[in-house]
Amino acid sequence: MTLIDLTRPPRSGRRMDSLPVAIIGAGPIGLAAAANLVERGIPFEIYEAGDTVADSIRQWGHIRLFSPWKHLVDPASGRLLETAGWQHPTDSALPTGAELVDEYLTPLASLPQIAEHTRTGVEVIAVSREGMDRTRTAGRAATPFLLRVRDPEGAQTEISARAVIDASGTFRTPNSLASSGLDPLGLDEVADLITHALPDVLGRDRRLFAGKHTTVVGAGHSAANTLLSLAALASDEPGTRITWAIRNRSAIRVSSSPDDDLAARAKLGGRVDELVAAGVIDVVDRFEIVRLSRRDDRIRIVASRSGELTEYDTDVIVNATGFRPNLAMLREIRLELDDVVEAPRRLAPLIDPNVHSCGTVAPHGFAELEQPEDGFFLAGMKSYGRAPTFLLATGYEQVRSIVAWLGGDAASAAQVQLTLPATGVCSTDLGQGGGCCS
């Protein structure tokens, strides 16, 4: 085990100190990092691939979160907002994703201290060091980072930074539908009939599902939310059918424990179970997709069930198998990641979903997130790799600690504290998908 010297200040140099910290992603964690940097007077720039801040959350804005407001507002962000006259929403209320964006993230991103340093529609496609690939060591820690970015017109440029906080999340990189982790054969042929997790079944995407047969693949909270929406649609639209395809012998249930402090999440499992028992949702277990092909405007699924091949047709597939980090953009960065969940190696044992639920993750910060690449940090959902146990409050403490370290405050960086709600199991199978919503 590598020991971290928390008394060692960040390395610096005259040019390095003049450069900003680069934040990748303008979601809740990226904006929280910015708020902490504002409080410490450290310059920064945010790069957001989406057209607006919190672009990924907007994609599932119709979903109601199971965490109340008291767990959703970053302390540093709250202080900046309150100084500008913002009022904290009622602690116990459960916002939708859209309300989280409209009532908190958009006002935060609109503060001049943050807005003036945020670039939307700009995708970071690679991170390296100036004049150095990952094999060169001499003088590495004193060499600025190099970020290659692509603007909305497709033009690529390069910018320099003293440190990088990658809070880009994982929503844009879903897990594969196939159990192997590879895309199933024939995927390209039917890609237009497969949707991302958490489609707006009762709103924007209704026409894709009404009167059709939908197969939801995955057994986490994302799958549960979609199944509930499809069941509501089926009661209004004749011919709407729902199949829930899972890879295990029985459904991995989201929490239905009365001890779960997040009551909205505790109800998910029970509601889905009731619909299965009533025959509204047809469960197909031990189902591992092998091949997909097109049959007119439908999908033919070839799958292995208990070692035997079977096939059936469906109109639409919802990929709710969870998410994984985009590591291709970090190929020239020296990373120390767990072999299984692709999280920082010191963090991985604390978030192993076979052991921990969302609420049993120990407080952690700079020491667990530091990489061999001095000054580079994974934060937020991306720091959890493929583990589905992330809560926003955890990410807020991560970036508070990281920013304290970048500011030379080693004592504050080391004093990580976090109070999370007691929870049930978020997911007990890495292959079955992540949860929603923090």
334 — pLDDT class (breaks 50, 70, 90): very high
Q: What is the mean pLDDT of the chain?
A: 89
Q: What is the pLDDT of residue 100?
A: 98
Is the pLDDT confidence value at 320 over 70?
A: yes
Is the pLDDT confidence value at 7 over 80?
A: no
Is the pLDDT confidence value at 122 over 50?
A: yes
Please check whether residues 235 and 89 belong to one and the same domain: no
For residue 155 the two structure tokens come to 């033009």
Mean predicted confidence (pLDDT) in 289-298: 96
For the stretch 129-188, pLDDT in tens is: 999 999 999 999 999 999 999 999 999 999 999 999 999 999 999 999 998 999 999 999
Cross-strand pairs, 46: 23, 118
Please check whether residues 401 and 347 belong to one and the same domain: yes
429 — pLDDT class (breaks 50, 70, 90): very low
Mean predicted confidence (pLDDT) in 389-414: 95
Q: What is the pLDDT of residue 16?
A: 86
Residue 1 within any structural domain of the chain: no
Please check whether residues 307 and 340 belong to one and the same domain: no
Is the pLDDT confidence value at 9 over 70?
A: no
Q: What is the pLDDT of residue 255?
A: 44
Please check whether residues 192 and 142 belong to one and the same domain: no
Strands across the sheet containing 156-161: 123-129, 145-150, 156-161
Is the pLDDT confidence value at 344 over 80?
A: yes
CA-based nearest residue to 180, from 291, 49, 300: 291
Q: What is the pLDDT of residue 353?
A: 72
| % of the chain beyond a pLDDT of 70 | 87
For residue 400 the two structure tokens come to 């508070």
Give the angle subtended at the CA of 427 by the CAs of 291 and 262, to the nearest 5°: 140
Lowest-pLDDT choice from 203-212, 297-306, 379-388, 412-421? 412-421
| % of the chain beyond a pLDDT of 90 | 77
Residue 365 within any structural domain of the chain: yes
* DSSP calls for 132-177: B-TT--TTGGGSPEEEEEE-TTS-EEEEEESEEEE---STTSBPPS
* Tally of structural domains, the chain: 2
265 — pLDDT class (breaks 50, 70, 90): low
Q: What is the pLDDT of residue 381?
A: 96
Please check whether residues 302 and 336 belong to one and the same domain: no
The domain that contains 224 carries what CATH number?
Answer: 3.50.50.60
Residue 69 within any structural domain of the chain: yes
Please check whether residues 202 and 107 belong to one and the same domain: no
Residue 438 within any structural domain of the chain: no
Q: What is the pLDDT of residue 267?
A: 74
CA-based nearest residue to 104, from 165, 47, 54, 48: 54
Q: What is the pLDDT of residue 251?
A: 56
2 — pLDDT class (breaks 50, 70, 90): very low
CB-based contacts of 91-95 (< 8 A; 24+ apart in sequence): 92/68, 93/68, 93/69, 94/64, 94/65, 94/66, 94/67, 94/68, 94/69, 94/264, 95/64, 95/65, 95/69
CA-based nearest residue to 216, from 78, 315, 87: 315
Of 319, 338, 363, the position where a domain reaches its end is: 319
Residue 371 within any structural domain of the chain: yes
Where in the sequence is the domain holding 113, given as residue range(s)?
14-172+323-432
For the stretch 49-79, pLDDT in tens is: 999 999 999 999 999 998 899 999 999 999 9
For the stretch 225-263, pLDDT in tens is: 999 999 999 999 999 999 999 987 665 544 445 545 455
For the stretch 352-392, pLDDT in tens is: 876 655 556 778 999 999 999 999 999 999 999 998 878 89
Please check whether residues 42 and 141 belong to one and the same domain: yes
Q: What is the pLDDT of residue 250?
A: 64
Helix (H, G, I), strand (E, B) or coil at 307: coil
* Phi and psi based region of residue 333 (left: phi greater than 0; alpha: psi -120 to 50; beta: remaining): beta
Instruction: Give 202: exposed, middle or buried? Use CB within 10 Å, 0-12, 13-18, 19+.
Output: middle
> Which H helix or E strand runs over 123?
strand 123-129
Is the pLDDT confidence value at 426 over 80?
A: no
Please check whether residues 34 and 164 belong to one and the same domain: yes
For the stretch 10-54, pLDDT in tens is: 454 567 889 999 999 999 999 999 999 999 999 999 999 999 999
Is the pLDDT confidence value at 4 over 50?
A: no
Of 260, 290, 319, the position where a domain reaches its end is: 319
Of 267, 293, 319, the position where a domain reaches its end is: 319
Contact between 17 and 163 (Cβ < 8 Å):
no
Please check whether residues 350 and 397 belong to one and the same domain: yes
